[in-house]
């Protein structure tokens, strides 16, 4: 392999208390929480809007915000929920996402918090001093620049900042296989009065067997989460899987999204020819990026375990609780995962599991917190914690703890848990 040595003097454009990389639900929650608690904050997002999966990838629905009794994604999550949907009692169901409204809610929250932020800005690398990250190296639209911060929050989804800083990580299952990706989509001209939506978890797959026999699909994937209703005629599709995509590799992502766009026409034929209410449905657009369910999980001081889910774990350093079932999509067509049985089991009303603060603290790193999809968790628990309402929980906790450490001029591992938990409760977190 040919190599070159590349060196360049770059500008230190910002110096701040807290630098958040990644503007998805975890990153926005972290940045806003840190700023509201008195920290000077910079936030950087590689796309041109906040929201990640919900906005750029067009994932059509939020998963449950509550356990049926308690609103678990309280604080930032509650604020966003109320602005989107109003005061609704049943928050255990999935909620279709009004994309443009959500974009402006995120913009307003970040601006009102006084956060310095940039879109179109991606992390390139970090510069270290021992176990401390001193600078994040970022690529703007044209210029490379550095940001110096006391504390960094990795909300990249892939744990890129932590890995660049030397953190260990787990990737997929024991063989390195990850859940398939999905190219989500928005559809029009659906007759919801005739579309069947109450046939269990996956009503849209009811005619797949016949379609397979008829040769409609090039890949016979039996998994089809399906369509979420937006309004009288529109819907959002979480449709089809793209297998063997490495969400950290640009070549794999490129091949995957090209394949997904090509196969989307097969799903358009399936919906219009096999399912009632979709006869005149039109595919309006697909996501700007693939919806990636799984890449890295950063090795943290505590790795959330399957037993935590089974035992409704409680921790002394608990920063939140959540309840979504363990949801692992198989990497092999038609083969159930070992964890698949747990989705059907789920939780009874009012039940949840605790999330330890230690799951936000990468080993080997002194001034970095993780939030969102890359938190410290074994694979089964990541299947629950990866969804957006839980990202609000871990993001709010990461931002609040970074601000608390900054105010006390303390190490992240030395902050007073009683004070942190009290602050989170004041902000609306559910911490019984």
Q: What is the pLDDT of residues 249-304, one digit of tens each?
A: 999 999 999 999 999 999 999 999 999 999 999 999 999 999 999 999 999 999 99
Specify the higher pLDDT residue, 343 or 268. 268
pLDDT of residue 282: 97
Bigger pLDDT: 92 or 3? 3
| Cα–Cα dist 296/60, whole Å | 23
pLDDT band at 198 (very low <50, low <70, confident <90, very high): low
Residue 106 pLDDT > 80, yes or no?
Answer: yes
pTM for the model: 0.96
Smallest Cα–Cα separation from 105: which of 40, 55, 62, 39? 55
Asked if residue 344 has pLDDT above 80, the reply is: no
Between the CA of residue 343 and those of 44, 59, 160, 203, 347, what are the distances in Å?
34, 20, 29, 16, 9
The confidence score (pLDDT) of residue 200 equals: 47
* 107-111, 139-143, 228-232: range with lowest mean pLDDT: 228-232
Tens digit of each residue's pLDDT (9 = 90 or more) over 303-312: 999 999 999 9
Domain spans in the chain, listed from the N-terminal domain onward: 11-173+295-426, 185-286
- Average pLDDT for 160-170: 98
**Structure confidence at residue 199 as a pLDDT band (50, 70, 90):** very low
CATH of domain 11-173+295-426: 3.50.50.60
321 pLDDT higher than 90: yes
Higher pLDDT residue, 206 or 353? 353
User: Which residue, chain included where needed, has tokens 């509650």?
Assistant: 78
Please tell me the predicted confidence (pLDDT) of residue 256.
Answer: 97
- Report angle CA 120, 80, 155 to the nearest 5 degrees: 40
Closest by Cα among 422, 421, 401 to 412: 401
Higher pLDDT: 335 or 258? It is: 258
Per-residue pLDDT of 65-91, as tens digits, reads 999 999 999 999 999 999 999 988 777
DSSP state, residue 377: B
User: pLDDT-derived band of residue 335, with 50, 70 and 90 as boundaries?
Assistant: confident
pLDDT of residue 338: 59
| pLDDT averaged over every residue in the chain | 94
**DSSP letter at 207?**
T
Beta carbons within 10 angstroms of residue 152's beta carbon: 28
Supply the pLDDT for residue 232: 86
Q: What percent of the chain has pLDDT over 90?
A: 89
């Amino acid at each position: 392999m040919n190599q070159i040595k590349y060196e360049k003097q770059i500008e230190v454009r910002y110096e701040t208390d807290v630098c958040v990389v990644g503007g998805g639900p975890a990153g926005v929650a972290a940045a806003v929480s840190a700023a509201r608690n008195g920290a000077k904050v910079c936030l950087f997002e590689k796309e041109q809007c906040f929201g990640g999966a919900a906005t750029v990838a067009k994932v059509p629905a939020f998963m449950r915000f509550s356990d049926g009794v308690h609103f678990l994604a309280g604080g930032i999550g509650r604020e966003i929920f109320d602005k989107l949907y109003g005061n609704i009692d049943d928050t255990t169901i999935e909620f279709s996402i009004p994309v443009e409204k959500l974009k402006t809610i995120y913009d307003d929250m970040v601006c009102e918090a006084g956060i310095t932020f940039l879109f179109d800005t991606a992390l390139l690398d970090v510069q270290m001093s021992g176990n401390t990250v001193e600078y994040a190296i970022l690529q703007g639209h044209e210029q490379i620049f550095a940001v110096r911060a006391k504390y960094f929050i990795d909300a990249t989804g892939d744990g890129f900042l932590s890995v660049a800083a030397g953190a260990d990580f787990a990737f997929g299952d024991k063989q390195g296989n990850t859940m398939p990706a999905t190219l989500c989509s928005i559809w029009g001209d659906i007759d919801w009065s005739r579309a069947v939506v109450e046939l269990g978890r996956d009503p849209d797959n009811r005619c797949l067997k016949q379609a397979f026999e008829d040769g409609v699909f090039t890949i016979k994937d039996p998994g089809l989460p399906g369509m979420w209703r937006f309004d009288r005629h529109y819907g959002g599709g979480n449709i089809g899987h793209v297998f063997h995509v490495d969400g950290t590799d640009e070549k794999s992502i490129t091949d995957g999204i090209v394949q997904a766009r090509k196969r989307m026409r097969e799903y358009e034929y399936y919906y219009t020819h096999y399912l009632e209410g979709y006869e005149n449905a039109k595919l309006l657009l697909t996501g700007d990026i693939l919806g990636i369910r799984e890449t890295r999980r950063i090795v943290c001081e505590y790795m959330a375990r399957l037993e935590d889910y089974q035992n409704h774990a409680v921790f002394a350093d608990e920063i939140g609780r959540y309840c979504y079932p363990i949801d692992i999509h198989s990497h092999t067509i038609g083969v159930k995962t070992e964890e698949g049985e747990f989705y059907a089991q789920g939780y009874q009303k009012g039940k949840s599991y605790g999330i330890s603060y230690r799951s936000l603290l990468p080993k080997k790193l002194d001034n970095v917190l993780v939030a969102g999809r890359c938190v410290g968790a074994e694979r089964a628990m990541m299947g629950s914690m990866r969804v957006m309402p839980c990202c609000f929980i871990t993001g709010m906790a990461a931002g609040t703890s970074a601000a608390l450490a900054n105010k006390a001029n303390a190490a992240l591992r030395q902050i007073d848990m009683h004070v942190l938990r009290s602050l989170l409760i004041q902000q609306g977190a559910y911490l019984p």
